[in-house]
Chain A
Amino acid sequence: MTKRSENIRFFSFIAFGVLTFSLLIYRLVQLQVVQGPEFREKSESNRIRFVELLAPRGVMRDRNGNLLVSNRPSYTCYGIPRDLYHDSLATGLLGVALAENPADIRDKILKPVKSTYRPQRIRRDMPYTLLARFEELRDQIPGAYLEIEPKRFFPYGVAPHLIGYVAEVAESELATFPGLQSGDLVGKRGLERLYDKDLRGIKGSKLSVVDVYGQEVETGGEIGRIEPVPGNELWTTLDIGAQLLAESLLVGNIGSVVAMDVRTGGVVVMASSPSYDPDIFAGSISAFHWNALLTDPEKPMLNRAVQTMYPPGSTIKPALLVEGLASGAISPSWSVSCPGSFTFGNRTFKCWKKGGHGHIDCIQSVAQSCDVFYYKLGLQLGADGIHRAMSRFHFGSPTGVDQTSEAAGLIPSEEYYNKRYGPRGWTKGFIVSVAIGQGEMLTTPIQLAAFAGAIATGVWRQPHVVDGIYDPNNRTLTKRADYVIDTLDLTPEILRYGQFGMEQVVWGPSGTARRQQNDSLKIAGKTGTAQNAHGDDHGWFICYGPIDNPMYSCCALIEFGKSGSGAGAPVAGEVLRDLIRREIYPDLYKKRVKEDEESEDVAHAGDLP
């Protein structure tokens, strides 16, 4: 290499170096000298924090647009592990402010992530007493701060079982819900669980500049933001007015009421008693409350409308009657003479009426609920005939209503008995008691409400609660329409026996629910009294109406109610009539109570106590 080219090489290398280093110095002058004071101010009074913004969960509305569940702001206490973990004074004060053991905060929340700046949720839904205490100590706990987050709000506090609740996702559930992180909220029961994906929305986030006390600075505090996307709304078929009535009628009782629009299958009322205040789940439920709910012998958490199985008693007699007629086991003119009891083999089965009903035909068997008639009919049908009768109305399997943990019920068949007791282990005597809805037969209130609707219309419709999902972001409504509809495969003439029998229950001279007569709102029904080995009998009443143009069916169950006519009928009858009134006299009822409760709440969100 020549001397000259060596020089060119040397100087071009040096020139390149001078150029790049100058660029660097230029940039440093820009950052440190020109913008220095600006950055200095930022860094001294400000710090940057990454905050997750929770998406408001989708609201739920009743059929008139009233809010069943919405959201309201609550205060969540966040802590930055890196700041708090090594600062025992601050964690101690935080424990005081939150009324929690500082060691718990340190070990459970901070320790697993002690070196991160990512804020961790320390306590959700701070009550006002704690907020005040926290405010006092805030200056000494710079690693902790409050954030406003949406929390579930129940404007009417109705239907807690049906709505369900949300809680922090369990570690074991993380696999079931891809996309969730621990600490996120997830629906645990009811609609909250089933429609969790729709309701959840998409979390947002923001970068904010905060001062040394962890407070977002007032101007220019937010330097980056991705808005959360609110969850979708559930449009349910529920009617808050009727639901409130049903819940009030159940107060003091153990039981449930289910009412359904027989034209669509939409559930308009689903109440279960005893109940609980859904608000306790909205923020963070205390261990005390949770244990009280779980260990209460009356099981307030249970949604008795779908999760509890009871013997249906006489309510299912119309099902057996139409099956007997349809299968030809009996003729329309078939009748029995009821002496008050029926002897089969060496056992005597009593009719509920001690003196006997005397001559009973098909219609009167329903109207007066004669047990002897059905003992004999049951023997004609056999175990499988009864099973067929019940399966026609979808007993023995979950209705598929959009609720969690729905019970299937049980309709014994010959196969069932053979399996359970062995082919020779059971007798026809078993059939006799099943024929009046006792023995091993089990049903749920929702099944019976659907059954009453099927008798009324001739079509079994799958009950459902949500019939539309509304996306507030795109303003689109997705109507659900995939419900099972089952024509019963019965001629109108045969079906009419069941309907007429149920009309006579209320309107016949010896009907078992004559007290439900109301000339302007004619309903049909069927009482049922289920023997209960643990105490007084359970009282059932199923009904539909109006008779000439069925709109709704209703089923009420009162545990330990002694009788269907005494306990069930007043409840179910009143709810049913209320529903009919709401529809035929709409002006008498204020349907939409308030347009947007949630927007008002948001307006007050910034107010600290």
Chain B
Amino acid sequence: MKQPGRFSDLWLLLSILVLLGIGLLSNFSTSYADGTGLYYFQRQFFWIGIGTALALGILSIPLRIIEMLAYIIYGLSVASLILVLAIGVTHKGATSWFQFGTVQLQPAEFAKVATLLALARFLAENPRSLDRMWVFLAACLMVIVPMGLILVQPDLGTALIFPVMLFVMLIWAGVAPQYLLLLVMPPAAVLTSWFVPLHITVLVAFIVLAVFTIRRIPWIALLTGLYLGFGALTPKLWNKLEPHQQRRITTFLDPEADPLGAAYQLIQSKIAVGSGGVSGKGFLNGTQTQLRFLPEGHNDFIFSAFAEEWGFIGALVVIFAFFLFFYRGVVIATKCHSPFYSLIAIGVTGTIIFQALTNLLMTVGFLPVTGLPLPLVSYGGSSMLVSLAMIGLLFSTALRWREY
């Protein structure tokens, strides 16, 4: 295992530079295709500049001070989520933005960082109580508050990040398995409830596993109950979803069912990616035929645009860059002596990689269309600022890994 570098981590830096570069190239290309001139490209450049400054600023602040401020930052972030519901700008049905002149900021993005910091501090502060119920419940509460406020906006895609972040950090902190199962069982029940044999198989597998690992009857009973309860409730929850959300899921499960609606994006995306072939159509050459049919080419489907022009080779570069990022992130998290630093490193890595994987698997038709941008690559001010701020934190932990 290679140690983190003395000043920072050059491999990590390389992966980030590659991804930012690919993002700029793709935005140039989609701007070109859109006939919007260099609009997205220039704005992206601008946001990268601001974001890099922000990351360097964060890097220069001792992590101890950030640790001290973690709860305050979290409090301010929750307050801003409440404020956005009151005075935010509504766009495509979601009240998610603060408007400053021509700039729109999305407090939900910043809540990710704030929650990550607070969670890391909380879990690091209580290393001996990680098998206690109250620690688990408090950690959950810290996530549920901002997540709930984001769901109200409503912004399902962004809210989805929070439980994942919680889950990754709880595992990393070493929380007892039954608590992790407490988080896993409900979604597992929901996902499997559509197919009864699978539903039962998973339950049986869980019980067998639990007998050997958890070994406590009340816990097993509780988790089983939870599983069965959620399994039964799923149809009711389903009916509460907005029709367009239902359609996204059914389209994913059976694209033939709705070839004209939500599947349109998916079909276009797959054609774009597939037509890129091994070596791609070449920079700016994909736009003439396919990109103009690609919805959200600069945003959610930017990978498809890139993969069309740069082919399988280009796509591999993106994937390896993300994998490198992931690998270095986990290495840094492992090496850090301070639990707070370590949790920040894994939180940042987990969040960004989860988003990246969700987006990438979506563009190739392996996951439903969720509306999550590709971190560091997609166009978007708030998303870019927050990704770079998180990366600033990651570099900070890499730089200070020796501190306790």
Residue ranges of A at the interface with B (Cβ–Cβ < 8 Å): 1, 5-6, 9-10, 13-14, 17-18, 20-21, 23-25, 27-29, 31-33, 35-40, 42-44, 47-48, 50, 82-83, 86, 117, 205-207, 212, 223-226
Contact = CB atoms under 8 A, between A and B. Distances in A.
B243 interface: no
B260 A32 contact: no
Contact of A33 (B171, B312, B331, B334): B312
Contact of A43 (B260, B271, B278): B271
A47 B270 contact: no
B351 interface: no
A187 B325 CA distance: 63
Contacts of A48: 264, 267-268, 271, 293
Given A25-B316, A32-B315, A39 B353 contact: no
Interface in B291-328: 292-293, 307-308, 311-312, 315-316, 319, 322-323, 326-327
Contact of A32 (B264, B273, B331): B273
Which of B275, B323, B326 gathers most chain A CB within 10 Å?
A: B275
A86 to B, nearest CB: 5
B330 A28 contact: no
B327 A14 contact: yes
B35 interface: yes
Q: Which 10 A-B pairs have the closest CB atoms?
A: A224-B259, A39-B274, A43-B275, A36-B277, A32-B312, A39-B275, A31-B274, A27-B364, A40-B275, A10-B334
B136 interface: no
Interface in B222-278: 259-260, 263-264, 267-268, 270-278
Nearest to A222: B259
B213 interface: no
A515 to B, nearest CB: 67
B361 to A, nearest CB: 6
26 contacts: A10-B330, A17-B327, A17-B353, A20-B357, A21-B322, A24-B319, A24-B364, A25-B319, A28-B307, A32-B274, A32-B278, A32-B312, A33-B312, A39-B274, A40-B274, A40-B277, A43-B271, A43-B289, A43-B308, A48-B271, A48-B293, A50-B264, A117-B293, A223-B267, A224-B263, A226-B260
A181 to B, nearest CB: 15
B356 to A, nearest CB: 10
A27 B40 CA distance: 29
B316 A42 contact: no
Contacts of A28: 273, 307, 312, 315-316, 319, 364
A41 to B, nearest CB: 8
B366 interface: yes
B34 to A, nearest CB: 8
Interface string B351-384: 0010001001100111000000000000000000
A27 B105 CA distance: 35
B172 interface: yes
| Secondary structure type dominating chain B contacts | helix
A206 B264 CA distance: 11
B174 interface: yes
A42 B307 CA distance: 16
Contacts of A20: 357
Contacts of A42: 271, 275
B153 interface: no
A83 B267 CA distance: 20
B170 to A, nearest CB: 12
Contacts of A1: 174
Given A39-B274, A48-B268, A207-B259, A31 B364 contact: yes
Contacts of A10: 1, 330-331, 334
Contacts of A6: 334
A414 to B, nearest CB: 62
B277 to A, nearest CB: 4
Nearest to A43: B275
A40 B273 CA distance: 9
A117 B274 contact: no
Contacts of A82: 292
